[in-house]
Structure 1
Amino acid sequence: MPAQPSAPACARAVVLTRPAGQNGGLARALEARGWRALDLPALRLTPEAGPVPDPADFDLVVFVSGNAVRMFLDTWREAAGRGRAWPDATAAAVVGPASARALREHPAFGQAPRLVQPAPDSPHFDSEALWAVLSAAPLPSRVLIVRGGRGEQGTGRDWLAGRLREAGATVTLHRAYRRVPAAWTPHQAEGLRQLARAGTPTAWLLTSAEGVDAVRGHLAALGLLDWWADCRLVATHPRIARHLITVIAEALPARGDPPMLQTCAPRDEDILAAIESVS
């Protein structure tokens, strides 16, 4: 399990803010390279109540994140019966390799063959990259977009829905889960204070605009915003990076220097390289 915040024990630390259960492999890889990895989720994911659309009613289902994959398929499988498998006539689409892996690993989808995704060497994994693939082939007429909270990676899902509708598709948006700020314990808060007091070089991984907002709220309450702005910051999409810069500028208007910020793809290997590059 990733280390939890306590007294600093390594020469450098990294705070992983992805939701609970999604930081283990990355934390182990970082710890093998001498980092102290703190598992400190910014957001808590809660499944939405209510009916779940049936993928069989659509020609294409677009998942905007791995979280959307897991939350939707878990709920759909529970409602439809655990023996229910993904319908053969329905294609699935994802914005990147992490979501593709979540689909392939889920028992409700498995090795269903029709999976659309950006090329592995795409410079970004987002709605624009997925649209480049979708628009190069005959477009489906009925599309379901599965999302969460107020959105992943800014307004990308709304942009994609607009492109699909302009092309003549009927688009249904389904919110599979809500995202709310995760509670940080007094022990975790004190661990961050100790890192700040010790001057331990610290990196932060930020993977959504909502996560950035949640971290800002926590650190403002702890009086650690100035320290955070001096840390190494890694964002997994340019839109998240732009939001992060805006948040820091608004929170610390007298600050002259921009934050030390690196942008990378959301794959663990790219995140690892980005964290190492800003250390």
Structure 2
Amino acid sequence: MTRPAPDAGHWVDELQARGIAASALPLIDIAPTEIPSEALSKARCACATPGHYRAVMFVSGNAVSHFFAPGVRLAPGTRAWSPGPGTARTLQAAGVPTAQIDGPRPDATQFDSEALWPEVRAQIQSGDRVLLVRGGSGASGSGREWLAEQLRRAGATLEFVAVYERHAPQLAPTALALAREAAHDGTLWLFSSSEAISNLQRALPGTDWSQARALATHPRIAAAAQQAGFGHVQQCRPSLSEVAASIESAHEH
């Protein structure tokens, strides 16, 4: 499990509860961004002002966690956009009413910006303002850039605030040993980010991944794994039940 901690640990617990042997090897570190405090304060204040934003797009659960603080809220008429159910659950935990949250349909092929847009595009009118709460350090993502372009075409004005940073972790010797073994011992790598694959390649330069197996939760991530040289790449939707089913199916074969 290569997701950032503590999310990786949560997934490991869930998979182990289903009888799947899982280990955490976080390949992305998350930390608060080094932005001027007034920039975030201004965005939080604007979000609480009725009518200021048509919607606020949170790119991930980390975006939600680092944006909200005690006393921070969204104005009742401001929509909260989520790319998937995990982010939606974090929004609910932050106190955003379920009825105020928009996201892809539960049966969507993928949980991403492309799946979100058909559900929210009717909300946008020319001149509307939309805030995109995201990570920094190059964490924008091609899907979010695509969504930004759709919003601009619809006449919306976009504003951005980066509330966290994503970094390549410094892997401990035990983690590096685990990664080297998993390159050839039949371990199934679960990737939910292309960035994790890039960080893995930088941590183990020159490694032959032709015997490695990967499970990717998005076509772009699967393509990145193939480009990195993974010999077997499988794809599934990013829900826990489908990830678990894909893991069990992979081990059967």
TM-score bracket for the superposition, by shorter chain length: 0.7 to 0.9
SS in 1 for 2:248: helix
Q: After TM superposition, list the pairs within 5 Å mapping 1:90-101 onto structure 2.
A: 90-101=78-89
- Go from structure 1 to structure 2 and tell me whether the alpha carbon gap of 1:112 and 1:26 turns closer, same or farther (over 3 Å shift): closer
Partner of 2:13: 28
SS in 2 for 1:148: strand
Shift of 1:138: 4.7
The answer on whether the counterparts of 1:260 and 1:278 sit within 8 Å (CA) in structure 2 is no
Larger RCO (alpha carbons 8 Å, 6+ apart):
1
- What CA distance in whole angstroms lies between the structure 2 residues aligned with 1:130 and 1:217? 32
TM-score normalised by length of structure 2: 0.86
Per-residue CA deviation, residues 33-79 of structure 1 (Å, 9 max, x unaligned), is 55432211001012112221122342200111122221222xxx2xx
CA RMSD of aligned residues (A): 2.1
- Go from structure 1 to structure 2 and tell me whether the alpha carbon gap of 1:164 and 1:203 turns closer, same or farther (over 3 Å shift): same
- What CA distance in whole angstroms lies between the structure 2 residues aligned with 1:275 and 1:188? 22
Partner of 1:246: 227
Partner of 1:125: 111
The answer on whether the counterparts of 1:151 and 1:157 sit within 8 Å (CA) in structure 2 is no
Unaligned runs of 5+ in 1: 1-15, 249-257
Count of paired positions: 239
Partner of 1:68: 63
Same amino acid, percent of matched pairs: 38
Partner of 2:120: 134
- Go from structure 1 to structure 2 and tell me whether the alpha carbon gap of 1:34 and 1:130 turns closer, same or farther (over 3 Å shift): closer
What residue identity is the alignment partner of 1:118? P
Partner of 2:233: 261
Runs (4+) off by over 6 Å: none
The answer on whether the counterparts of 2:54 and 2:124 sit within 8 Å (CA) in structure 1 is no
- What CA distance in whole angstroms lies between the structure 2 residues aligned with 1:271 and 1:169? 36
The answer on whether the counterparts of 1:58 and 1:143 sit within 8 Å (CA) in structure 2 is yes
Per-residue CA deviation, residues 192-249 of structure 1 (Å, 9 max, x unaligned), is 44556xx6420101111211100111122xx6x22x432220111111111221232x
What residue identity is the alignment partner of 1:173? F
- Go from structure 1 to structure 2 and tell me whether the alpha carbon gap of 1:194 and 1:130 turns closer, same or farther (over 3 Å shift): closer
Q: After TM superposition, list the pairs within 5 Å mapping 1:1-279 onto structure 2.
A: 16-48=1-33, 49-50=35-36, 51-52=39-40, 53-54=43-44, 55-56=47-48, 57-73=52-68, 77=69, 82-106=70-94, 109-111=95-97, 113-139=99-125, 141-149=128-136, 150-151=138-139, 154-194=141-181, 200-220=185-205, 225-226=207-208, 228-248=209-229, 259-279=231-251
TM-score normalised by length of structure 1: 0.78
What residue identity is the alignment partner of 2:216? A
The answer on whether the counterparts of 2:104 and 2:111 sit within 8 Å (CA) in structure 1 is yes
- Go from structure 1 to structure 2 and tell me whether the alpha carbon gap of 1:22 and 1:190 turns closer, same or farther (over 3 Å shift): same
- What CA distance in whole angstroms lies between the structure 2 residues aligned with 1:20 and 1:84? 25
- Go from structure 1 to structure 2 and tell me whether the alpha carbon gap of 1:194 and 1:60 turns closer, same or farther (over 3 Å shift): closer
Bigger drift between 139-148 and 122-131 goes to: 139-148
SS in 2 for 1:39: coil
